Amino acid sequence: MKDIKKIAVLTSGGDSPGMNAAIRAVVRTGINEGFEMVGSLRGYQGLIGGDIVPLHSRSVSNIIQRGGTILKSARCKAFYEIEGRKKAHHKMQAMGIDALVVIGGDGTFTGARLFGKEYGVPIVGLPGTIDNDLYGTDYTIGYDTAINTVMEAVDKLRDTASSHDRLFIIEVMGRDAGYIALTSGIATGAEMILVPESPTYIDEMLYMLEKDWKKNKTSGIIIVAEGDDSGGALEVEKEINNRFPEFETRLSILGHIQRGGSPTAMDRVLASRLGNAAIMTLKDGVSGVMLGMVDNKIDLTSFEKSIKHHQQINLDLLDIARVLAI
């Protein structure tokens, strides 16, 4: 591997709280190790278009507590194409950028894997997504903040559900993963949690609901992951209304509120440790890997593995949630 002098950091895909803390750690560790640091704006789009900004220690002051990403983010379609990656490589060479730290999810690592293979560019990745769906890390940067955001929102909805004797059906994000739904569902004592990892049988769900109401429940919370096979919260609400017109239901789709906000201490520490380790990994001559935290220790997983193997969900927790909601 050629000597690394200049490193670019970028954030790509859906943003997540803690990305700024990760950028800060990457930049400051890089500077401390004697590298020149730059940022690519809007993920891979900045590489293709040469939208690169210098990053100094002071450029990342006062951002550890901020949600979003100061480098902006995008899902760059052009980088999925050979032509786009070629342009990005030309720009990197022209600007003297020797290595990359990419922060994002599976789309980001899919691009990074191809780029690294095609041009031998040293690249390491940090898991930045609220979905917690990447293999090779117990938690992704942003997940902890997202589940706390959901928890606060559901607690508020529970207050009004209880006052009005209503059943709230709440849809949370996670794409095709049920982590956010499962964890926030347990944390809020949801009556039911529907996740893509476990098939949803509508009749069974309706039967359980009826049982709950016979046990004098007068209000409740159903958390539905957006990727659940029921089709989402709207479909679930329709089924309930058809079978039990006497129930008063309300629908709430939490949406992008889950992606914003000041990161929790957990996310800031995770991002800081992984950001620091990213630079040390490149310095050690290692590339093509995502850095994760497994059992509180830094772990390296090839991009290929981190994308292909979905992080497994603990389905026993669904049963526990159900017992705790009787």
Rule CB under 6 A: which residues touch ligand F6P?
14, 105, 129-131, 173-175, 226, 259
Cβ neighbors of 265 (< 8 A, separation 6 or more) are none
What b/e readout covers 168-185, taking b as 16+ CB neighbours within 10 angstroms?
bbbbbbbbebbbbbbbbb
Secondary structure of residue 316 in the 3-state scheme = helix
The answer to whether 160 and 313 are in contact (CB under 8 A) is no
CB neighbours of residue 61 within 10 Å: 10
Partner residues linked to 36 by β-bridges: 6
Cα(172)–Cα(305) distance, integer angstroms: 26
CB of 1 to ligand F6P, least distance (A): 31
CB of 95 to ligand F6P, least distance (A): 28
CB of 285 to ligand F6P, least distance (A): 31
Active-site residue, 131 included:
yes
Closer CB to ligand F6P, residue 4 or residue 313? Answer: 313
CB of 227 to ligand F6P, least distance (A): 7
Cα(34)–Cα(6) distance, integer angstroms: 9
Closer CB to ligand F6P, residue 127 or residue 174? Answer: 174
Tokens of 251: 């629908």
Q: What share of the chain is helix, strand, coil (3-state, %, to 5)?
A: 45, 20, 35
Among the listed residues 15, 98, 106, 131, the single catalytic one is 131
Closer CB to ligand F6P, residue 26 or residue 177? Answer: 177
Locate tokens 């990305």: which residue?
A: 19
Closer CB to ligand F6P, residue 129 or residue 200? Answer: 129
Residues with catalytic roles: 131
